[in-house]
């Protein structure tokens, strides 16, 4: 069986030639949650955008392949790529406020995609949306459907977006820090909901986060990203039990433990970072894109 | 919008005062032959320079007095409103349609479309507007349609700039990206996702522009470049009033008040509309 998402040696550069992604390889198997963890600025969002075909204009992919369920995105024309991405993937975004159109009611935003893109009847879409709202435990769907986004709380908006993401039964969901913008109390509920729907629907998720605590809760596999480079990849349990890379060890040491939140935390070790940076700089000097 | 929300936000007095004046003036203009107490063109040398009704020497039926040819001022103002409103609606709507369309394209699509449109706007705005208008009318010839055309040609840039900025900031929002991921086409996103969010600004600006069009028309008729018939316009009444300011101040003051009230009302009405329809303030 082909992987749900397969990224092979993906490199991307900014107009000034600086690399933002350095030969990134990672795969997500069907029904699996793969965490992509790294500090802010590591390029996690960039990878998500590359998968979804919405990289900023200034970022250029210079090498590598991306396959969704075995289909090579690079071999499709723009229209076929859009159709494939639209049908098989969805995004759970970081900021639930700006991800909803402020001037449209929730109902029309949620059904629109099913009706216009997938060609469902309005009735079928409506039924589907209500079912999903029930799954994300929204108790008063009537009110929510009639609301404008700013009339809902952050947690409520994120529930709506989770429901919307799962509504069209995508094979792969990119969840980009889906709890970062939320209150701590709401974060846990939202994580639990995503995990629940993921299991029920058997959807593969590329789960982007900077928080190893979240990684431990939601994912089966992890890729650790530093400066656009995957420095370690492992089964989640394996990664915590026996981290191989110095950077991963440092990252784990810098993460609060729920069992012992008062244990002293070490900031990520300077010498580890210095070593990594030198290693990456050396690799950049050698590096030539394989094509383009 | 449901009733509860309207009640919660209350009815802004600003909206009602401005809207009320505009409605009154508009209805008077539309039904001018019915509501005007006198024929606005009828001269009567026996009745020249009658003062408004509360002063000594006023005649019943000539509420705001008469001008130096004995024509009834109120009736002239009411008929003048016809041209003012025709110009306001036609010119502002044309400017709005041209400017908003170009602004939306420039702001949403960016790239070379934006570069070309923005360049044209810059060049356009380098002309002083009143001179530009006078020049255009000199070229196009006087008359109602030239005045409308001139205002639209000059003022579309106002819409273009505002809508471009709005569309640009909306285009960066995550919901636009989500729509692209879902597979919507660019035009569909522009019309369905971006346009509704810039619409409140368009409405506010449209109303403001109507006020501006009224002023520009008044200025053009003041310098005798507007409608070259005997039909009264607010600008031409002001121009006449200026000549007899010492004998009959009312011929200058009342049209000025009418003009200012109308222009202010248009701008206030626009602001109030924007507040009402802005999705976040709503
Ligand atoms: N629109 C953009 N154009 C150019 N560079 C960008 C853009 N967005 C982000 N970057 C750069 O790309 C790198 C990766 O950013 P990002 O993927 O957002 O990181 P993360 O999501 O891991 O915090 C950062 O160095 C950032 O400065
Ligand atoms: Mg990010």
pLDDT, tens digit, for every residue of B246-267? 999 999 999 999 999 999 999 9
Interface with B, mutate which of A52, A87, A102, A116 (most B CBs under 10 A): A102
Q: How far is the CA of B253 from the centre of ligand 2 (A)?
A: 63
Average pLDDT across chain B, whole number: 90
pLDDT band of residue B1 (cuts 50, 70, 90) is: very low
Per-residue pLDDT for A106 more than 80? Answer: yes
Q: What is the pLDDT of residue A132?
A: 97
Per-residue pLDDT for A292 more than 50? Answer: no
pLDDT band of residue B159 (cuts 50, 70, 90) is: very high
pLDDT band of residue A227 (cuts 50, 70, 90) is: very high
Contact B279 A102 (CB under 8 A): yes
Q: What is the pLDDT of residue A262?
A: 60
Mean of pLDDT values over A108-119: 91
Q: What is the pLDDT of residue B118?
A: 97
DSSP chain B: --HHHHHHH---HHHHHHHHHHHHHHHHHHTHHHH-SS-TT---GGGTTPPPTTSTT--TT-TT-B-TT--BHHHHHHHHHHHHHHHHHHHHHHHHHHHHHHHHHHHHH-HHHHHHHHHHHHHHHTS-HHHHHHHHHHHH-SSHHHHHHHHHHHHHHHHHHHHHHHHHHHHTSHHHHHHHHHT--HHHHIIIIIHHHHHHHHHHHHHHHHHHHHHHHHHHHHTT-S--SS---HHHHHHHHHHTTTT-THHHHHHHHHHHHHHHHHHHHHHHHHHHH-TTT-
Which of A52, A94, A148 comes nearest B181 by C-beta? A52
Per-residue pLDDT for A249 more than 50? Answer: yes
Q: What is the pLDDT of residue B8?
A: 43
**Closest residue of B to A148, CA-based?**
B279
Contact B175 A100 (CB under 8 A): yes
Mean of pLDDT values over B43-57: 89
If one compares B5 and B25, the residue with the highest pLDDT of the two is: B25
Q: Helix, strand, or coil here: A167? A: helix
Q: What is the pLDDT of residue A162?
A: 97
Instruction: Identify the contact set of chain A against chain B, taking CB-CB distances under 8 A.
Output: 52-54, 82-83, 85-87, 89-91, 93-95, 98-104, 109, 112-113, 116-117, 148, 150
Q: How far is the CA of B111 from the centre of ligand 1 (A)?
A: 21
Mean of pLDDT values over A74-93: 94
Which residues have their alpha-adjacent CB atom under 5 A from ion ligand 2? A 45
Place of tokens 């992509």: A36
Q: Spell out the domains of chain B, with CATH numbers in brackets.
A: 75-277 (1.10.3720.10)
Q: How far is the CA of A44 from the centre of ligand 2 (A)?
A: 6
Contact B178 A95 (CB under 8 A): no
Average pLDDT across chain A, whole number: 92
Contact B184 A89 (CB under 8 A): no
The tens digit of pLDDT for each residue in A252-274 reads: 888 776 555 565 666 677 777 88
Q: Spell out the domains of chain A, with CATH numbers in brackets.
A: 5-286 (3.40.50.300)
The tens digit of pLDDT for each residue in A40-56 reads: 999 999 999 999 999 99
pLDDT band of residue B131 (cuts 50, 70, 90) is: confident
**B 6-25 near A (Cβ less than 8 A):** none
B58 touches chain A (CB under 8 A): no
Mean of pLDDT values over A217-234: 96
**A-B C-beta contacts closer than 8 Å:** 58
Could you identify the atom of ligand 1 that is nearest to the CA of residue A56?
1
Which of A94, A104, A117 comes nearest B183 by C-beta? A117
Q: What is the pLDDT of residue A260?
A: 58
Q: What is the pLDDT of residue A265?
A: 62
Contact B183 A87 (CB under 8 A): yes
The number of the ligand nearest the C-alpha atom of A49 reads: 1
Per mean pLDDT, which range of B45-49, B185-189, B221-225, B270-274 is the poorest? Answer: B221-225
Per-residue pLDDT for B136 more than 90? Answer: no
Mean of pLDDT values over B198-215: 94
Question: Which residues form the pocket of ligand 1, taking CB atoms under 6 Å from any ligand atom?
Answer: A 14, 20, 38, 40-46, 56, 58-59
The tens digit of pLDDT for each residue in A167-209 reads: 999 999 999 999 998 988 899 999 999 999 999 999 999 999 9
Q: How far is the CA of A9 from the centre of ligand 1 (A)?
A: 18
Per mean pLDDT, which range of A41-45, A270-274, B101-105, B191-195 is the poorest? Answer: A270-274
pLDDT band of residue B141 (cuts 50, 70, 90) is: confident
């Amino acid at each position: 069986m082909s992987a749900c998402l397969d990224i092979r040696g993906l490199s991307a550069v900014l107009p000034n030639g600086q690399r933002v992604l350095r030969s990134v390889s990672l795969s997500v198997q069907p029904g699996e949650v793969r965490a992509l963890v790294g500090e802010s600025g590591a390029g996690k969002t960039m990878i998500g955008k590359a998968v979804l075909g919405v990289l900023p204009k200034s970022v250029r992919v210079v090498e590598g392949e991306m396959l969704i369920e075995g289909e090579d995105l690079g071999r499709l024309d723009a229209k076929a790529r859009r159709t494939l991405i639209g049908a098989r993937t969805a995004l759970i975004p970081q900021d639930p406020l700006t991800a909803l159109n402020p001037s449209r009611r929730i109902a029309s935003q949620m059904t629109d995609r099913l009706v216009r893109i997938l060609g469902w009847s309005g009735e079928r879409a409506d039924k589907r949306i209500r079912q999903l709202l029930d799954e994300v435990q929204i108790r008063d769907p009537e009110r929510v459907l009639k609301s404008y986004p700013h009339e809902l709380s952050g947690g409520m908006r994120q529930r709506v977006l989770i429901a919307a993401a799962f509504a069209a039964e995508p094979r792969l969901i990119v969840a980009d820090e889906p709890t970062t913008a939320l209150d701590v109390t709401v974060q846990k509920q939202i994580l639990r909901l995503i995990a629940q729907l993921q299991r029920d629907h058997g959807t593969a998720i590329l789960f982007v986060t900077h928080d190893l605590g979240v990684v431990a809760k939601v994912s089966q596999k992890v890729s650790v990203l530093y400066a656009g480079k995957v420095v370690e990849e492992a089964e989640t349990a394996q990664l915590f039990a026996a981290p191989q890379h110095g950077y991963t060890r440092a990252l784990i040491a810098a993460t609060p433990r729920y069992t012992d939140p008062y244990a002293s935390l070490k900031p990520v070790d300077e010498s580890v970072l210095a070593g990594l940076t030198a290693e990456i700089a050396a690799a950049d000097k050698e590096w030539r894109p394989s094509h383009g | 919008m449901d009733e509860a929300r309207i009640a919660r936000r209350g009815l802004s007095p600003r909206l009602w005062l401005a809207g009320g004046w505009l409605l009154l003036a508009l209805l008077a203009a539309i039904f001018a032959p019915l509501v005007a107490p006198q024929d606005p063109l009828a001269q009567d040398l026996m009745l020249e320079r009658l003062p408004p009704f509360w002063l000594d020497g006023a005649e019943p039926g000539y509420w705001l007095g008469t001008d130096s040819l004995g024509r009834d001022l109120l009736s002239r103002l009411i008929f003048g409103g016809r041209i003012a409103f025709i110009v306001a609606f036609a010119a502002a709507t044309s400017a709005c349609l041209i400017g908003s369309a170009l602004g939306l394209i420039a702001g949403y699509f960016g790239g070379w479309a934006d570069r070309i449109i923005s360049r044209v706007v810059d060049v356009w705005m380098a002309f002083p507007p009143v001179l530009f208008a006078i020049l255009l009318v000199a070229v196009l010839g006087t008359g109602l349609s030239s005045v409308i055309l001139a205002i639209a040609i000059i003022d579309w840039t106002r819409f273009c700039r505002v809508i471009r900025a709005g569309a640009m900031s909306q285009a960066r929002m995550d919901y636009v990206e989500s729509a692209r991921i879902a597979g919507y086409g660019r035009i569909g996103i522009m019309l369905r996702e971006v346009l509704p969010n810039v619409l409140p600004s368009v409405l506010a600006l449209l109303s403001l522009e109507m006020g501006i069009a009224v002023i520009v028309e008044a200025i053009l008729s003041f310098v005798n470049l507007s409608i070259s018939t005997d039909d009264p316009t607010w600008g031409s009444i002001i121009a006449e009033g200026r000549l007899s300011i010492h004998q009959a101040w009312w011929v200058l003051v009342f049209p000025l008040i009418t003009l200012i009230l109308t222009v202010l009302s248009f701008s206030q009405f626009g602001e109030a509309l924007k507040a009402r329809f802005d999705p976040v303030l709503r």
